[in-house]
Amino acid sequence: MSFQNILVSINEGIQTITVNRPDKLNALNYLTIQEIGKAVAEGNHHPEVFGMILTGSGEKAFVAGADISEFAAFGAIEGEKLSREGGEVFNSIEQSAKPVIAAVNGFALGGGCELAMACQMRIAAENAKFGQPEVNLGLIPGYAGTQRLVQLIGKGKALELLMTADMIGAEEAHRLGLVNHVVPQAELIAKTTEILKKIGTKAPLAIASVIRCVNAHYQFDANGFDAEIREFGGLFGSQDFKEGTQAFLEKRKAVFTGK
Ligand code: COA
């Protein structure tokens, strides 16, 4: 299948999916998310593929978030739909029978951090930066970031990152358990490949079972996921959301009123 916003290649059983919108720091618009979902499904069906790498093109960004320019004019109903449909793709990555490892080569913000968290593991380049800055836009994460961040780093630190919108570097992300390893950027793909190849020597059905069982621990359909979708949609009806997104697009500081 040919794609517009992602690059897909297969080498020695590893399918690499590269988000390829470098001029927008690989921001995720609707099409890009759908294409990632299709590529992961294809990788799962491909008889020669045993694992996947998800990364971003260029050296600056993994994914700098959902594409703010695409949803800036959305209302509550469209916001909820965006979250629900995107969430299905992120869930499909989390539930992939073949491991998907995020090779985080730069900014992983908002939807980018959420995308990395949906993968089974994360390897970060030394320059990677993580954060959930949605509150700057009058929003919250919409692709299960409020749930997976808690799962990975615990409630207290997750609340801090979600409420302050602070960005953290690769070393702190490693210390918190958000990423599995930190390596120099030039070694990122080699390290990710090495881990996948090790997993590739194990029994594929057992690997798929491990993924299912670990996901089961978190009761995937727990209410938090649904609550996030509803809250995310609801915020699209607020004036602060309009102000936050307009301020970003106009490159100025947002002035929030609580309405
Ligand atoms: N959505 C849409 N466009 C985005 C984007 C996003 N999430 N992130 C970056 N871009 C675009 C910028 O608008 C800019 O486009 P332009 O050249 O047409 O003006 C381009 O990507 C480069 O980004 P820029 O902001 O100039 O780079 P920078 O190095 O100064 O800053 C960031 C990098 C990541 C700190 C900054 O781009 C940023 O804060 N992005 C938004 C992060 C965010 O809030 N994500 C959550 C969204 S829910």
Cα 94 → chain centroid: 10
Cα 230 → chain centroid: 19
Q: How far is CA 227 from CA 156, 217, 220, in A?
A: 19, 19, 13
CA 80 to centroid of ligand 1, rounded, Å = 23
- Using the predicted structure, report yes or no on whether residue 156 has a pLDDT greater than 60: yes
Helix/strand/coil percentages in the chain, nearest 5: 50, 15, 30
Long-range Cβ contact pairs of 70-74 (< 8 A, separation 24 or more): 70/29, 70/30, 71/236, 71/245, 72/242, 72/245, 72/246, 72/249, 74/236
109 lines ligand 1 (CB under 6 A): yes
Cβ atoms of 101 and 121 within 8 Å: the answer is yes
Q: What is the pLDDT of residues 65-108, one digit of tens each?
A: 999 999 999 999 999 999 999 999 999 999 999 999 999 999 99
CA 139 to centroid of ligand 1, rounded, Å = 16
Q: Which of 5, 19, 24, 113 to mutate to test the pocket of ligand 1 (most atoms within 8 A of CB)?
A: 24
Beta strand pairing status for 14-19 and 129-131?
A: unpaired
Q: Any idea where the domains of the chain sit in the sequence? A: 6-199, 204-249
Question: pLDDT at position 258, please?
Answer: 81
Task: Specify whether 48 is catalytic.
Answer: no
Question: pLDDT at position 20, please?
Answer: 98
Question: pLDDT at position 245, please?
Answer: 95
Taking residues 58-66, report their average pLDDT.
97
Question: pLDDT at position 225, please?
Answer: 78
pTM of the model: 0.93
Give the integer Cα–Cα distance in Å for 256 and 241. 9
Reading the block at residue 153, the tokens are: 């780093």
Q: What is the pLDDT of residues 19-59, one digit of tens each?
A: 999 999 999 999 999 999 999 999 999 999 999 999 999 99
Taking residues 243-259, report their average pLDDT.
92
Taking residues 227-240, report their average pLDDT.
89
Q: What percent of the chain has pLDDT over 70?
A: 98
- Using the predicted structure, report yes or no on whether residue 222 has a pLDDT greater than 80: no
Pick the CATH number of 6-199 from 3.20.20.140, 3.50.30.10, 3.90.226.10, 3.40.50.300: 3.90.226.10
Q: What is the pLDDT of residues 194-221, one digit of tens each?
A: 999 999 999 989 999 889 888 888 865 6
Give the integer Cα–Cα distance in Å for 71 and 32. 14
Give the integer Cα–Cα distance in Å for 200 and 204. 7
CA 24 to centroid of ligand 1, rounded, Å = 6
One of 35, 80, 114, 228 is an active-site residue; which one? 114
SS3 at position 186: helix
- Using the predicted structure, report yes or no on whether residue 132 has a pLDDT greater than 80: yes
Question: pLDDT at position 212, please?
Answer: 87
Nearest atom (ligand 1) to Cα of 167: 35
